[in-house]
Structure formats: C-alpha cells, structure tokens
Amino acid sequence: MAEFQECLTESNLSDLDIRGTFFSWSNNRVEDPILRKLDRVLCNEKWREVFPDAISIFEAPGDSDHSPAVVRFTHVPEIRKCSFKYFSFISTHPKFLEELMKSWEESIPVGSKLFTLGQRLKRAKATCRRLNKEGFGNIQQKAGDALRNLKEIQEQLLSEPSDSLFRQEFVARRKWQFFETAQEIFFNRKARIRWLACGDANTKFFYKAVMAHHIRNCISYLVDGWGNRVFNQAQIKDMVVAYFQNLLGSADTLLIDISLEDLHGSFLIDVLSRLQINFC
C-alpha cells in the first residue's frame, strides 16, 4: 500500500469526488461478511481543469462482488444570485471614493438614525457591487487577456526594440500585475485558506481549492420516493421544498388541543400534588 500511495503521488493522481455507496467490494459470505473500499476512480489535475463538475457514482453491485463506478460529466451550471462579498481590490477602482461618497451623501427619506444608516449602507453596497462588476467582472479572463497582451508586446520588443514598445510593455506589465493581484486576493478569500504553502503566487492553488470546495458542497442528485436519481436542478429544488413542506407544514394527528382552563386546572393539580408530597 505504501508503494501504491507513492505511485499515486508521483503520478499526481487523486480520487475523484465520490457519491453513492461507500464500500465497493463484498465477499458475499453470509457466515463471515466482509466489506471493503477497494475500487477507486483516479484523475489528475488536467482532468479536474477540463471536467471540474465530474463526479464518480458507486452503484449497487447486483450479482457482482464489486460495485460499478459510473463517472458523470454532464452538469448544467445554474446561474443563481449569490450574496455580495467585499474584496479589498475593489478600493483600487479609480472611481471608488468618488462613487462611494456620492451614494453615501444622497438624501434619505424621513426616518430614525438607524433607518438612515441602514439605507446608506444598502446604497454603498450597491455601489461596490456595480464597481466590482464594471472593473473586476470575470477577473480570470481579464487577467488572462492582460498576460497575453503583455507577451505579444514583449515578442515585438525583443524582435524590434523601440521607445514606444518599452512604454507599452511597462503599461501592459502594470495592468497584468494589477489584475493578477486582484485575482489572487479573490481566490484566496474564496478558498477560505489563511496559510500559504506554495510560494507567493498561489492563484492556481487557490483556484483548485475553490473548485474542490464547490464540488464537495454541490448536491449532484437526490433520490425520489421510487428510488430514481434526479439530476435536474429545478426538480431537486422542488423535491427539497416539498419534503420540508410535508415535514413542517402538516398537522400532527397525535397532538390534542388543550384549552386554557384545562391548562390552569392541570397546573393547579400539579402544584397541590407537589405540596402534598413535600408535606408528607
């Protein structure tokens, strides 16, 4: 096992995210049953980049002693409204202070001081959200485009150097460093990691951590009342809502209504019984 683990480490292979049954092998002996996790689905970093939403589902073995492992690729990403989180790189926007002061100084309808503060905070949040979308929306693509532009200018500069290309290369480098730093801060916060173990530029490391966190928390499918797997996100939402409506919205037939008079009477009887016990 130590040699096998060393082989996986040298080959940069790790387990794909697992769903379904945990144990994958059984000896099928009633008198001496044994269950083990023998079967695994392995992948490398390139696989995770190309298929970030792929999962492995271990199903019931049926007549075999090994559980079949099914790798599922198709997953339609759902565009959902996420809560806004403030990142420090938003303050580097050239219009940050100007737009924030403008939204903060807008007149507020008549209300208490706490109400006024809440309204101003809401407007400041909307301003930060808009500046983030305008200046840092799709930060990965902007960082990649800035790097490609920098390399193109550098190729021209190293072939036919000129003062104009030197200035262009300086501006392009500053622009790329700006987006690269913002991207690193973004993935650092999203990855929820407070330590650095892979050097100074950890954007790729944080990106992988974010993707792994997303896959672990993702509900890939649910099993309905007939034992069928449901992968459609809209149907999964309906199943969850229906389950909790049935759990929390239905009346319990075992409960008995008690009037206020009965409650007072039972309370009085309980007090008298306690007094009698203490007196005895």
In sequence order, what are the beta bridge partners of 36?
25
Of 229, 231, 211, 212, nearest in space to 220 by CA: 231
Digit-coded pLDDT (tens) for 211-248: 666 666 677 778 887 878 787 778 888 888 888 888 78
Go through 143-159 and write b for each residue having 16 or more CB atoms within 10 A of its CB, e for each that does not: beebbebbeebeeeeee
Answer whether residue 80 shows pLDDT above 60: no
Whether 28 contacts 43, CB under 8 Å: no
Q: What is the DSSP letter of 91?
A: G
Residue 163's H or E segment, with its range, is helix 163-191
Cα separation, 246 vs 201, in Å, equals 50
The residue-averaged pLDDT of 269-275 equals 59
Give the per-residue SS3 of 210-250.
Answer: HHHHHHHHCCCCEECCCCCEECCHHHHHHHHHHHHHHHHCC
Cα separation, 150 vs 152, in Å, equals 5
Domain boundaries defined on the chain:
2-79, 88-217
* Residue 154 identity: Q
pLDDT band at 103, cuts 50/70/90? confident
Answer whether residue 83 shows pLDDT above 70: no
Distances (CA, A) of 209 to 45, 187, 190, 212, 213: 12, 8, 9, 5, 6
Cα separation, 272 vs 269, in Å, equals 5
Phi-psi region of 169 (alpha: psi -120 to 50; beta: other; left: phi over 0): alpha
Answer whether residue 147 shows pLDDT above 80: yes
pLDDT band at 280, cuts 50/70/90? very low
Mean pLDDT, all residues of the chain: 76
Answer whether residue 272 shows pLDDT above 60: no
Q: What is the model's pTM?
A: 0.36
Digit-coded pLDDT (tens) for 19-28: 888 888 888 8
Query: Worst-scoring range by mean pLDDT, 8-12, 33-37, 190-194, 272-276?
Result: 190-194
The residue-averaged pLDDT of 181-210 equals 58
Output Rg (C-alpha) for the chain, integer angstroms.
30
Question: Percent of the chain, pLDDT > 90?
Answer: 0
pLDDT band at 195, cuts 50/70/90? very low
Answer whether residue 198 shows pLDDT above 60: no
pLDDT band at 131, cuts 50/70/90? confident
The residue-averaged pLDDT of 101-112 equals 80
Whether 153 contacts 168, CB under 8 Å: yes
